[in-house]
Structure 1
Amino acid sequence: MKYHNTFSQLDPRLYHRQPPTPLDSPTPVHFNQNLAKKIGWSEDDDLMQNWVDIIGGAYVPKGFCPLAMAYAGHQFGQWAGQLGDGRGLLLAQVIDNTGKLQDLHLKGSGLTPYSRMGDGRAVLRSSIREYLGGHALTQLGIASSSALGIVTSKTPVQRETIESGAALIRVADCHIRLGHIEWIASFAPDLLKPFTDYMIATYFPDCLSADHPVLAFLEKVVKNTARLIADWQLIGFAHGVMNTDNLSITGSTLDFGPFGFMERFNPAWINNHSDFTGRYAYQNQPAIGHWNLNVWLPHFMRLSGISRQGLGEALAHYEPVFMQRYQTGLCDKIGLPHDEDSLGVGFDWLTLLQDCRLDYTNSFRALLALIAPDDFTFEAQLLETLNQEIENQGDKARQSWQNWQSRYQALWQKLPQEEVINRLTANNPVYILRNDMAQRAIIEAEKGDFNEVARLFELLSQPFKVQDIATNLDITPPNHDAPPLSISCSS
């Protein structure tokens, strides 16, 4: 690998150097061969032969420089003070085969000075969810961390019960969070300028030629965050814990906790069972992204030449960038160009999904069977199920569905059929990581069988393609009368 450990050269107040604490008898669960190739890991025999011990914390290869990052943050809207890598270590930074900087971060590495009341460990169930969740988003084309590999062990970890300790190496383009600046502002304000210079030079070098590099950098962070959250909304992804310490400056999904992919469409869905007020409900994510940036940006007023007006102008980009990305994406998802008529039909489609509690992913994919039923037999089955569910809800739902189809047909028939089909297939996956899919893999893994983890990893590698390895359970939403599923923060 081409090591480029620049964070470890920064002021030592920003981190604590330490090796990982080894897990007891680490056992391989799964390894991401394609990611290993991308970052150059697969080209090193030492890394390939010892990957289980590396992730298990027993072996630190030459070139690694493990450290725990210090940062702070607002959690559920309240200032939480100093936080930091309480169970993770930045192992190394490398240049991948595209010339891009990547962080290798070990999660479940043991206690650090920032562990607070935690034990520094991760458990198998949450590690599997992050491993598959990051892979799913990445293959859907959404900016996200992914994971190189995952191991389990005989190390007991106390959560609600005694569980198996596990670990994974997360690979992301950046692990600097909004919370890093919050920490600097509170505990080391003299570092604000050099750290800002580092962020610009390392992650946004094109801003160096701008008239005001810092403002150009802040504008990019704002826009990247807006685009990421628009992408989440379009695919039906809910992060669950959008604290400022969980958002990356590069606009890449980071820190998978109680995340989930939307099944039956409910904009008010709360997927974190600790979110008692619904702050991080699916429909609130765009507003929370803006809120987080709004509390982050004022710290830069300490820098020369940064005014409140300049920060306001940077933040003002958030809403139009989000709306452009989301509205264009919604039109793409129904196979139509971005215009007023398409938007009206798109938003009415979402209303129909919500009123009838239809499955978000299946319903969008089923539209292909309205356009070319003879060419999309799988999607025709999805459409048949959709029709039956609407039929079961009575005359009002049936009439709304018929009216919508008429309006939709009037628009798509004006376009070349191939154009509509290409938009639909490119923007609507067949497979997402449904909660029951992840849970089945976890149950088998806890018995020592990792075949379902491997199958789901392969399935999610091509989410837009109908695959033979899929089962009906991979496309089956919860029953209509099933309560909304929320996930524990315990991990």
Structure 2
Amino acid sequence: MDYCHTYANLDTRLYNKQPPVPLDNPRAGHFNPYVAKRLGWDKDEDLMSHWVEILGGQYVPAQWTPLAMVYAGHQFGHWAGQLGDGRGLLMAQVRDTNGDCQDLHLKGSGLTPYSRMGDGRAVLRSTIREYLCGHALTQLGVPSSTALGFVVSDTPVRRERMEAGAALMRVADSHIRLGHIEWIASFAPDLLAGFTDYMLDTYYPECRDAPVPVAAFLQQVVERTARLIADWQLTGFAHGVMNTDNLSITGSTLDFGPFGFMERFNPGWINNHSDHTGRYSYQNQPAIGYWNLQQWLPHFLRLPNISRATIDECLSIYEPVFMQHYQIGMCHKLGLMHDQASLNIAFDFLTLVESQRLDYTNSFRALLAVVDTAQHPYEQTLLTAFINELTPEGLSTWQDWRARYIALLPEDTSEVINTMRANNPVYVLRNAMAQRAITAAEQGQFEEVARLFTLLTTPYEVQEIATALDTTPPAPDAWQPPISCSS
């Protein structure tokens, strides 16, 4: 592989170099051949033959420089002080086949100076959820970390109960979080200028050509964050823990905990059992993204040519960028052009789906059967189920909406159909799907993990390996339990 170890050359206050603490008897869970090929891992015989030992912390290749990053953050709106990689290590940095630097980060690698009250480990259930979700979002086209693979072991780890320790090799375009700057500002302000130069040169080199490179960099981070959260909203994804230490400077999804994909559409859905106020509910994600940037941007006032007006200008673009990206995406889900008529009918559809407590993913996919009844038998089944769940009032609203929608369609609907197919997945990682894979894996059976991995590789296509449970939402009155943060 083409290594690019740049973070390890920064000031030593920013990290602690250390090897991983090996797991006992690590065993293969699943290996991601697509990531391996993108990294060039598949070309290295030593890496391919020892991947289980590497992920299990038993073998560190000679070219690697493992380290734990230190950062800080606001958690649930409150300053949490110093945080850091408490159970993970940046093992190496490597250029992928596109020439972009990627971080290889081993999660579940043992205690670090930043573990606080933790044990430095990860458990199998959360490891599987992160592995599958990172893959799912990536294949949906949402910027996200993904993973090379994961292993399970005989190392016991206590959470709510005793569980099997596991480890995941996360791959991301960066592990620098908003919280890195928060730590520097609080504990090592002399590093701010140099670290900002590092972020510019490594992740935003095009900003060097701007009149004020740092201002251009800040604006790019704001724009990418806005687009990422718009993508989350469009796919029905709720992160669950949008602390400042969980948002990346590159606008990629990072740190999967109590995440979830929306099933029965409820904008106020809270998927984190620790979120007692609903701060990180699905509908609050856009506002929390803005709030996090509000905490982050003023730290750069210490740099030359960055004024309060600069910060305000950067923040001011967040809402229009988010709204434009979200509105265009919502129109595309209906196969329509981005105009006011399309927006009106899109939001009316969301209102119908919410009022009738219908499934978010299935409802949008079912609309293909409205556009073309002959060529979409799977979607016709979804549409029938959709209509059967409507109340009499909902049915009347639907019939009126359907007529208005058809009136907006062009005579030739081929492009409409292509756009809808590309923007409305058949499959997302529903919590029940992940739980079935976890239950089997805890018995040593990883076939369901492999099946879901394959299913989520092409989420926009109907697949023969799918089962009815992969697209069946919970009952309308069923309680959707929130997910634990413990991992």
TM norm structure 1: 0.99
Superposed CA offset, 1:341-396 (max 9, x none): 00000000000000000000001000000011110000000001001001xx2x21
- Asked if residue 454 in structure 1 is aligned to residue 450 in structure 2, the reply is yes
What residue number does 1:30 align with?
30
AA paired with 1:436?
A: A
- Equivalent of 1:430 in 422, 426, 431: 426
What residue number does 1:400 align with?
397
- Equivalent of 2:484 in 474, 482, 488: 488
Q: Distance in 2 between matches of 1:485 and 1:267?
A: 15
What residue number does 2:72 align with?
72
**Residue segments in structure 2 that go unaligned for 5+ positions in a row:** none
Distance 1:415 1:229, change over 3 A: farther
Q: Secondary structure at the match of 2:199?
A: helix
Q: Secondary structure at the match of 2:91?
A: strand
Q: Secondary structure at the match of 2:401?
A: helix
What residue number does 2:417 align with?
421
Task: Give the superposition deviation at 1:304.
Answer: 1.3
Task: Give the superposition deviation at 1:179.
Answer: 0.1
Q: Distance in 2 between matches of 1:469 and 1:292?
A: 41
AA paired with 1:70?
A: V
AA paired with 1:407?
A: R
Q: Is the 8 A contact 1:269 1:484 kept in 2?
A: no
Deviates more, 1:398-407 or 1:433-442: 398-407
Q: Distance in 1 between matches of 2:445 and 2:91?
A: 29
Q: Distance in 2 between matches of 1:275 and 1:477?
A: 23
- Equivalent of 1:466 in 459, 462, 465: 462
Task: Give the superposition deviation at 1:481.
Answer: 1.2
Q: Distance in 1 between matches of 2:440 and 2:433?
A: 11
AA paired with 1:312?
A: D
Q: Distance in 2 between matches of 1:446 and 1:156?
A: 13
Task: Give the superposition deviation at 1:415.
Answer: 4.8
Task: Give the superposition deviation at 1:24.
Answer: 0.2
AA paired with 2:446?
A: F
Superposed CA offset, 1:8-54 (max 9, x none): 00000000000000000001010001110110111111100000000
Task: Give the superposition deviation at 1:81.
Answer: 0.1
Q: Secondary structure at the match of 2:367?
A: helix
What residue number does 1:118 align with?
118
Q: Secondary structure at the match of 1:234?
A: helix
What residue number does 1:251 align with?
251
Q: Distance in 2 between matches of 1:396 and 1:467?
A: 34
Q: Secondary structure at the match of 1:148?
A: strand
Q: Secondary structure at the match of 1:429?
A: coil
Superposed CA offset, 1:150-192 (max 9, x none): 0000000000000000001000000000000000000000000
Q: Is the 8 A contact 1:135 1:147 kept in 2?
A: yes
Q: Secondary structure at the match of 1:370?
A: helix
What residue number does 1:376 align with?
376
What residue number does 1:353 align with?
353
Q: Distance in 2 between matches of 1:165 and 1:97?
A: 32
- Equivalent of 2:436 in 432, 440, 448: 440
Superposed CA offset, 1:202-221 (max 9, x none): 00000001100000000000
Q: Distance in 2 between matches of 1:296 and 1:318?
A: 14
AA paired with 1:162?
A: M
Q: Is the 8 A contact 1:273 1:487 kept in 2?
A: yes
Q: Secondary structure at the match of 2:389?
A: helix
Superposed CA offset, 1:297-319 (max 9, x none): 00000111210001100111100
Q: Secondary structure at the match of 2:174?
A: coil
**Residue segments in structure 1 that go unaligned for 5+ positions in a row:** none
Q: Distance in 1 between matches of 2:440 and 2:374?
A: 38
Q: Is the 8 A contact 1:88 1:106 kept in 2?
A: yes
What residue number does 1:218 align with?
218
AA paired with 1:84?
A: G
What residue number does 1:477 align with?
473
Q: Secondary structure at the match of 2:474?
A: coil
AA paired with 1:309?
A: A
AA paired with 1:253?
A: T
Residue pairs, 1:239-318, within 5 angstroms: 239-318=239-318
What residue number does 1:410 align with?
407
Distance 1:63 1:415, change over 3 A: farther
What residue number does 2:82 align with?
82
Q: Distance in 1 between matches of 2:101 and 2:2?
A: 10
- Asked if residue 4 in structure 1 is aligned to residue 1 in structure 2, the reply is no
Aligned residue pair count: 487
Superposed CA offset, 1:71-118 (max 9, x none): 000000000000000000000000001111100000000000000000
Q: Distance in 2 between matches of 1:62 and 1:222?
A: 38
Q: Secondary structure at the match of 1:489?
A: coil
AA paired with 2:222?
A: V
Q: Distance in 2 between matches of 1:63 and 1:282?
A: 42
Q: Distance in 1 between matches of 2:334 and 2:190?
A: 51
Q: Distance in 2 between matches of 1:416 and 1:191?
A: 59
What residue number does 2:152 align with?
152
Q: Distance in 1 between matches of 2:140 and 2:445?
A: 27
Q: Distance in 2 between matches of 1:486 and 1:381?
A: 29
What residue number does 2:109 align with?
109
AA paired with 1:484?
A: Q
Q: Secondary structure at the match of 1:30?
A: strand
Q: Distance in 2 between matches of 1:483 and 1:77?
A: 27
RMSD, aligned α-carbons:
0.5
Superposed CA offset, 1:427-466 (max 9, x none): 0000000000000000000000000000000000000000
Q: Secondary structure at the match of 2:358?
A: coil
TM norm structure 2: 1.00
Q: Distance in 1 between matches of 2:86 and 2:294?
A: 26
Superposed CA offset, 1:227-248 (max 9, x none): 0000000000000000000000
What residue number does 1:200 align with?
200
Identity of aligned residues (%): 67
Task: Give the superposition deviation at 1:406.
Answer: 1.1
Q: Distance in 1 between matches of 2:155 and 2:245?
A: 28
